[in-house]
Amino acid sequence: MPGYELIGKEEKKQLNSIFSNGGILFRQGFESLRKKNSFKVLEFEKKFSKYMGSKYALAVTSGTAALRVALASLNLKKGDEVITQSFTFVATVEAIIESRLTPVCCDVDETLNMDPDQLKKLITKKTKAVIVVHMLGVSPEMDKIKKICKKFNISIIEDTAWGCGGYFGKSRLGTLGRIGTYSFDFAKTITTGEGGMIVFKKKQDFDRAKAWHDHGHENNPKVPRWEDTRSSSGFNYRMTELQGAVGLAQLKKLEKVLKFQRLNKDKIEKKIKKLNLKFRKIPKKNIDTCDALIFFVKDKSIAKRCRKSLNMNGIQTKILPEASTWHFSKYWSHMSELKKKYKNLKRSFIKSENYINRAISIPIFVKMNKEIPNIIYKSLKKII
């Protein structure tokens, strides 16, 4: 699970170095007060983009902000449609609504991510972008989705909130589409408390996003900031140096987090395989982040009973089954934009429902007591 398990002296050292180098907490400017040319957010962006193998990266205040800024950089028109998936966190759809765009939710398949066959059917003349989500560290069938989007000339944004460090083929998750977004909130693979990152293929998108996340500031080197040039309005989603410093320490730990998550997921999976469970499908080319281990049982009531049995033995589940109302669009009748689009929201995602209702998600930690696989196995065996 998250980088918070490994927060320690490295993060503290990074933070202290801000205060011993002038104490500037703003991401830019104040050069004369900074010692050792200390720009934490800038350094974090550079190292993150290098790690991901992407040309440009922009740090922001959250994964939700990352989605909002990514959409702003595409310069879409009010009412354009953006397709995302029915199983995601509310944030993905909120970012679309906040951008005055129309959200459309695509069913998920057995990967628990966007179903390419349904995506094809949802595309209209108004569709301008697709936000795929690498839910809980696993990708959708990206080759199929890329092919469809290419055919219809639709931009792909990857919501990589849960997929930081995973691969599809030789590419890191987040770098397969036009833009990739990440979250560093406290439950994510690496964390800055709150925070996010956006990676871009095109310089034009990066430049637009960079200005938009900073009230339109173009940071024109020919003029001081208070006389700065601008081509658009924007908002404030700037990351602080404090978050940037923690991000630098966390990024160094990412490979370690992934390594132990992969080992620990493997141990649990091997043990509970004996129960003849049907596991979530992982696309062949995907190396997942092993953030969670998900399997399907016969029905919703068995899923709930499994959770209860796990809980009684000190094991938590992650999102499924307990938090589906926050992660499944069927329940979002509080969003008037979705209600307008779907006459019967509750009955609009039957295919997704069949998977989501029966799924159990076990969180994978970096530090795991060796008894855990056995405890999980015994808790499930009682019910299944």
Binding site residues, ligand PLP, CB under 6 A = 62-64, 88-89, 91-92, 133, 159, 161-162, 183, 185, 196
- Rounded to a whole number of angstroms, the minimum distance from the CB of residue 175 to ligand PLP is 17
Residue 366 near residue 264 (C-beta atoms within 8 A): yes
Within 10 angstroms of residue 10's Cβ, the number of other Cβ atoms is 15
Residue 321, preceding peptide bond in cis (omega within 30° of 0): yes
- Rounded to a whole number of angstroms, the minimum distance from the CB of residue 235 to ligand PLP is 15
d(CA 8, CA 14): 10
For the beta sheet containing 286-287, the strands, ordered from the edge strand earlier in sequence to the opposite edge, are 171-172, 167-168, 286-287
Q: Which is nearer to ligand PLP, 6 or 132 (CB)?
A: 132
**Helices 63-73 and 203-212, interaxial angle, to 10°?**
120
Q: Which is nearer to ligand PLP, 165 or 196 (CB)?
A: 196
Contacts of 153 (CB under 8 A, 6+ apart): none
Residue 181 near residue 157 (C-beta atoms within 8 A): yes
- Rounded to a whole number of angstroms, the minimum distance from the CB of residue 167 to ligand PLP is 18
- Rounded to a whole number of angstroms, the minimum distance from the CB of residue 201 to ligand PLP is 20
Q: Which is nearer to ligand PLP, 91 or 268 (CB)?
A: 91
Q: Which is nearer to ligand PLP, 231 or 316 (CB)?
A: 316
- Rounded to a whole number of angstroms, the minimum distance from the CB of residue 63 to ligand PLP is 3
Q: Which is nearer to ligand PLP, 192 or 309 (CB)?
A: 192
Which residue number has the CB closest to ligand PLP? Answer: 63
Residue 365 near residue 325 (C-beta atoms within 8 A): no
Structure-token pair, residue 52: 């991901």
